[in-house]
């Protein structure tokens, strides 16, 4: 089976009208953006790109992947908010969460450091985020997403060209 424009649209943009997805997408963007802004721009007391990549290299994460992560959390968050290439950004955040769990948080157990007595933060936060990201990877951006506009446009173009072709034959 060849990759047609149609199948690409289906893979990347096609999504149902669903306000559940809109909520999940907005909150996924809202929560991850401050982390990205810390890492990319040094906002909210963050370390900026250089400081963050230095921190990553101490963890043994290659600079290329570190940079990809910084872009996922910053630009990816903006794309999530707009619902543009939702599946790609959501996949990026899912990978981010999985890597964060296995490089840092798994040793701290399940719970966040609610009572301030643990050695550090656990991974219950990451489980919540992963669930949201997984939904967005599978179902796309839902209502009020640029993805759904693009998918609708592609479908209507397709119908027009189909009509033209059948009119010719």
Partner 1 sequence: MNTNIIHELLSTDNNVILTIVRIVLGIVIFPHGAQKLFGWFGGHGWNGSMNFFKNVVGVPYVLGALSIITESVLSIFLIAGLFTRVAALAILINMIVAATMHFKNGFFMNWYGNSKGEGYEFHLLTFALAIALIIGGGGMFSLDRLL
The residues binding partner 1 (CB under 8 A) are 18-21, 23-24, 26-28, 30-31, 34, 44, 110-114, 116, 120-121, 124-125, 127-132, 134-135, 138-139
Closest contact distance (angstroms) between CB of 51 and partner 1 is 12
Rounded to whole angstroms, the Cα distance separating 7 from 3 reads 6
Closest contact distance (angstroms) between CB of 30 and partner 1 is 7
Closest contact distance (angstroms) between CB of 167 and partner 1 is 38
Rounded to whole angstroms, the Cα distance separating 46 from 94 reads 21
Nearest to partner 1 of 124, 158 (CB atom) = 124
22, 81 contact by CB (below 8 A) = no
Nearest to partner 1 of 98, 154 (CB atom) = 98
Nearest to partner 1 of 7, 113 (CB atom) = 113
Rounded to whole angstroms, the Cα distance separating 129 from 28 reads 7
Rounded to whole angstroms, the Cα distance separating 87 from 97 reads 15
Contacts of 45 (CB under 8 A, 6+ apart): 38
Closest contact distance (angstroms) between CB of 101 and partner 1 is 13
18, 142 contact by CB (below 8 A) = yes
113, 120 contact by CB (below 8 A) = yes
Closest contact distance (angstroms) between CB of 20 and partner 1 is 4
Nearest to partner 1 of 61, 154 (CB atom) = 61
Nearest to partner 1 of 30, 63 (CB atom) = 30
């Amino acid at each position: 089976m060849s990759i047609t424009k149609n199948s690409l649209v289906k893979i990347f943009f096609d999504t149902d009208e669903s306000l559940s997805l809109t909520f999940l997408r907005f909150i996924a963007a809202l929560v991850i953006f401050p982390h990205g802004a810390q890492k990319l721009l040094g906002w909210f007391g963050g370390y900026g790109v250089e400081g963050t990549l230095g921190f990553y290299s101490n963890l043994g994460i290659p600079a290329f992947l570190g940079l990809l992560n910084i872009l996922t959390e910053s630009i990816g968050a903006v794309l999530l908010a707009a619902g543009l290439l939702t599946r790609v950004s959501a996949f990026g955040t899912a990978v981010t969460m999985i890597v964060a769990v296995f490089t840092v948080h798994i040793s701290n157990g399940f719970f966040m450091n609610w009572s301030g007595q643990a050695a550090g933060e656990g991974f219950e936060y990451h489980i919540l985020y992963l669930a949201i990201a997984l939904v967005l990877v599978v179902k796309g951006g839902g209502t009020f997403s640029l993805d759904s506009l693009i998918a609708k446009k592609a479908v209507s173009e397709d119908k027009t060209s189909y009509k033209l072709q059948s009119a010719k034959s």
